[in-house]
Amino acid sequence: MNNNYLDKQLRELGQAAPQELPPSLRARQDAVYATLASSVQDSAESRKNRKLYPGISAAAAALVLGVMLTAAYPPELAHALKQLPWVGGIFERADDLGLQAAVRLGLISRPDSRDTHEGITLSAEEAVFDGSRLAFSVKREGDGLDSKLTGVTVGPDGKVFQEKGTITSAEVLIDGASLEEFSEGLWAVMPLLSWTEGTESNTAIFKLVDPSTLSISAKPFPEHFVLTATIGLEGIEEPFVLRIPARKATQNIIDKPDLRAQAGGWSLMLNKLEYSPLTTRLSLLLEQETEEDSPAMDLIGFEVTDEQGQILKVISQKASPASARSRNVDLLTEPFGKRPNLLTIRAYLNEFADPERNSGAFKTDSSGEPVKHYIDGLEMNVRVQ
């Protein structure tokens, strides 16, 4: 909705239905204003806390506003007020330190691209690109949509299904070329597209990762390009098309430490380390001395921690065969919340939920995290520039 139109609508509704708020609701409104004012004037320590829990203030304000809407205003004014933008953006409230940093550092762009079909509008709200990862946020608007923009719904019978307005498919073009065309048919080094739900049910965050470090023949992302995203929604016949200009917004730090660790018949080499405010990227070579347990190579994961034991959240991990007994591994994680002096890379084996099979879901612990069996000695410490 156009903000100028919204302002006009609010003024007209306010003139048509002037009324005083009850004292209790006036107190709640004042509390919202006080919260918003204090958030602008908070201390450095408060800003640090808001980085960790970016949605609390917005959610609290929205809750009080919701009570005010239902109790004090006519339906027309309530509907108009509900169209007001949230405090902050989708990236700012994402559970992603890199996207939060992009907002804080002023690295994001506003694509201003939208498409409407059958009364539903999808819009590209924000975008940021650091050479390794392009991320863009999408918002859905439309009446009568109770479903999330992403995911599935579980029915009373226990079966899962997708409700109207939920994402069913997404494809992207890089300067008009499909991902297969862009990678010249090399499936092992094709860019990875994924999406997750945003903090609000009508939002989603898309991520496109460049795995070009897996092979010298792989094609890296250009420094700037136009991404065309075609997104299908359940119950809507025609797909939505959004165009997102992408331009590298960071100056990355690249280190080539050439470190190696060997243990238990395995060898791990760190060829390159790349930092940006959005991501930390590691180019690894995993080798096995014999072929006795070659399937295990595909079950190995990697964990990156700082000297405080803080684990960096993995964005993507992809491997490509370098030989019969070796794999090139591209590991992309979120950035450090605070730049450490030292990071540790540890290799581990995943365990399947069904011990009789070598495929399927991984076994998880009581917290829902995959069970990790660390490979003794297959780790390395890296000094951070």
Q: Does 348 reside within a domain? A: yes
Identify which of 171, 148, 144 has the alpha carbon closest to the alpha carbon of residue 161: 148
**Domain of residue 165, residue span:** 97-247
Q: Which helix (H) or strand (E) holds 317?
A: strand 314-323
Residues 155 and 226 in one domain: yes
Per-residue model confidence (pLDDT) at position 144: 83
Residues 241 and 365 in one domain: no
Three-state SS at 82: helix
Residues 123 and 241 in one domain: yes
Residues 307 and 189 in one domain: no
Residues 121 and 219 in one domain: yes
Q: How many angstroms separate the Cα of 188 from the Cα of each of 9, 318, 328, 330, 363? A: 53, 8, 11, 11, 26
**Local mean pLDDT, 10-residue blocks, the chain (385 residues):** 42 41 42 36 37 38 38 43 56 95 96 96 98 97 91 86 94 97 89 94 96 84 97 96 97 91 91 94 90 70 92 92 88 89 92 79 86 92 86
Amino acid identity, position 192:
L
Using the 3D structure, point to which of 47, 82, 117 is the last residue of a domain. Answer: 82
Using the 3D structure, point to which of 247, 273, 289 is the last residue of a domain. Answer: 247
Residues 242 and 263 in one domain: no
Overall domain count for the chain? 3
Q: Are 319 and 295 in contact (CB under 8 A)?
A: no
Q: How many angstroms separate the Cα of 170 from the Cα of each of 56, 110, 130, 229, 241? A: 31, 20, 22, 7, 10
Per-residue model confidence (pLDDT) at position 73: 40
Per-residue model confidence (pLDDT) at position 78: 41
CA–chain centroid gap for 95, Å, is 7
Contacts by residues 46-54 (CB-CB < 8 Å, ≥ 24 positions apart): 51/97, 51/100, 51/104, 51/337, 54/88, 54/92, 54/93, 54/94, 54/100
Concatenating the DSSP letter of every residue in 211-225 gives -GGG-TTSPPPPSEE
CATH code of the domain covering residue 163: 2.60.40
Q: Does 180 reside within a domain? A: yes
Residues 142 and 104 in one domain: yes
Using the 3D structure, point to which of 202, 219, 247 is the last residue of a domain. Answer: 247
Residues 111 and 241 in one domain: yes
Helix 97-104 to helix 44-52 angle (10° resolution) is 140
Residues 172 and 145 in one domain: yes
Residues 175 and 270 in one domain: no
Three-state SS at 26: helix
Residues 112 and 219 in one domain: yes
What number of other Cβ atoms are within 10 A of residue 106's Cβ?
A: 7
Token match 């070009």: residue? 212
Residues 123 and 225 in one domain: yes
The whole-model pTM stands at: 0.74
